[in-house]
Amino acid sequence: MKHTLFYINDMIWTFIFEWLAFACLYGAIAKGAWWHIGTAAICAMVAGAHLKDAISNEEEEDLE
């Protein structure tokens, strides 16, 4: 199946924000930077929004 540019872009941003969330959790747990717990939550929510958008783009593509 060929994906659109929108789907690929959303998946790239999902990957980036997932890794940012993991990096924030590492900083919060291992380095004691407790203020990054909120940052990790925000990154996880943004990654989830991009993933949801990618899934909806894929479903629209399948309907065409």
pLDDT computed for residue 62 by the predictor: 67
Reported as type and span, the H/E element at residue 59 is helix 36-63
Residue 52 inside a domain? The answer is yes
Residue 18 inside a domain? The answer is yes
Q: Report phi then psi at 62, rounded to 5.
A: -70, -30
Amino acid at 5: L
Q: How many domains does the chain have?
A: 1
Which tokens hold the place of 27? 């900083």
Whether this prediction's pTM lies above 0.75 is answered by yes
What DSSP character marks residue 7?
Answer: H
Q: Look-up: residue for tokens 């004691």?
A: 32
Q: Which has the closest alpha carbon to 54: 2, 3, 1? A: 3
pLDDT computed for residue 1 by the predictor: 58
Spans of the chain, pLDDT less than 70: 1, 61-64
**What range defines the domain where residue 45 resides?**
5-57
Residue 28 inside a domain? The answer is yes
